[in-house]
Structure 1
Amino acid sequence: MEQLNRAKRYLKRIERLYAGVFSSMAHDEEEYFDDVLSFFIHCYHVRDWALHQAGAVLRAREIDAFIDLNEPLRICTDLANGSKHCKLMRTPRSGHQPTISQPQKLYSTWFIGDGGGEVLQCSYRVESNGKSFDVRELACECITLWEMFLNCPRLTD
């Protein structure tokens, strides 16, 4: 599914942030944060693609029930909707509007000949309902859950 693949590409961006981004100029930390938030937006919208793609056999309540059963997807939903609407008007599925923390940063300097640059490693946390989650781990869980749901045999009947 195209939307799931798009979410996976954003997951790769998160993984690169965790591994370290090289720059010979200043790092754009707002852009990095945008990539993290964009993952959750695109990941949540797998729901809409599953619902509306040609030949879909799923109903909204079936997909929503799956989301409601899985904490990572509930958090993902609230992050996506909270960012889209600025403020959630409905009760958050996760129980409380989650937030993404400022990144934990680790800088390293590299010199190559006369040039060089800096490597910035970023990691982020999501705070939700009194719990803290590593963004990369949460994102991986969301992708795994969507793959499990979309590969369920009832979808191929």
Structure 2
Amino acid sequence: MEQFDRVERYLKRIRNVYSGDNLILWDDRAYVEDDILSFFVHCHHLQDWVSSLNKVGVTHEQIKQFIESHESLRICADLANQSKHCQLTKKPWSEVKPHLAGFQYESVDGSHRPGIRGKFAVITDEAIIDVLELAESCWHHWSLLKHDIEQQWART
């Protein structure tokens, strides 16, 4: 499913910034923040793709319950909706008011050649969460659901 591939590409970009394995110019580092928010938007919208394209009858309500059962997916949903809409008009998925903050950048090898390394945080009312850990958790949950759906489809 192309949306899963898209989400995985954004996750790879985040991983590459954490590891310093990229060719991002120092002056272009703000693009990383766009990639992080894009990951959460696309990750949250996996719900629409799964609901629309699954062939085993997973309902929108089941997907909603799936998201509600995982804190990382609830936080992902709130980050996605906050970045996509200027002001939230619906009830948030989580009660912790997450927002992206705490950007730390450094040049790879301390130079101004292409390549930066960074760490990022999501701040909530309850905790400071590393962006990569949150993204990996979201990806893990969706990957397990995708695997379960594929297994069900293979049995039909």
Task: Give the TM-score of the pair, scaled to structure 1.
Answer: 0.86
Tell me which residue corresponds to 1:113: none
User: What CA distance in whole angstroms lies between the structure 1 residues aligned with 2:120 and 2:29?
Assistant: 12
User: What CA distance in whole angstroms lies between the structure 2 residues aligned with 1:87 and 1:155?
Assistant: 39
User: Between Structure 1 and Structure 2, how many residues are aligned?
Assistant: 151
Residue type matched to 1:85 in 2? Answer: H
Aligned-residue offset at 1:149: 1.4
Aligned with residue 139 of structure 1, among 132, 135, 138: 135
> Is residue 66 of structure 2 the alignment partner of residue 59 of structure 1?
no
Tell me which residue corresponds to 2:19: 19
Q: Which moved more, 1:132-141 or 1:14-23?
A: 14-23
> Residue 31 and residue 89 in structure 1: after superposition, are their counterparts in 2 closer, same or farther (change >3 A)?
same
Aligned-residue offset at 1:56: 5.2
User: What CA distance in whole angstroms lies between the structure 2 residues aligned with 1:119 and 1:49?
Assistant: 34
Contact 1:109/1:119 (8 A) holds in 2? no
User: What CA distance in whole angstroms lies between the structure 1 residues aligned with 2:56 and 2:46?
Assistant: 13
Contact 1:109/1:118 (8 A) holds in 2? no
Bigger strand share: 1
Contact 1:88/1:97 (8 A) holds in 2? no
Aligned-residue offset at 1:54: 5.8
SS in 2 for 1:96: coil
Q: Looking at CA atoms only, which structure, 1 or 2, has the larger radius of gyration?
A: 1
Tell me which residue corresponds to 2:28: 28
Bigger helix share: 2
RMSD (Å) for aligned C-alpha atoms = 2.0
User: What CA distance in whole angstroms lies between the structure 2 residues aligned with 1:83 and 1:66?
Assistant: 22
SS in 2 for 1:86: coil
Q: Gaps spanning 5+ residues in structure 1: where?
A: 111-115
Tell me which residue corresponds to 2:100: 100
Q: For residues 30-53 of structure 1, what are the alpha-carbon distances to aligned partners after superposition, in whole Å with 9 as ceiling and x for unaligned? A: 211100110001111110000111
Task: Give the TM-score of the pair, scaled to structure 2.
Answer: 0.87
Q: For residues 37-93 of structure 1, what are the alpha-carbon distances to aligned partners after superposition, in whole Å with 9 as ceiling and x for unaligned? A: 100011111100001116351111100001001000001101111111122112211
> Is residue 125 of structure 2 the alignment partner of residue 129 of structure 1?
yes
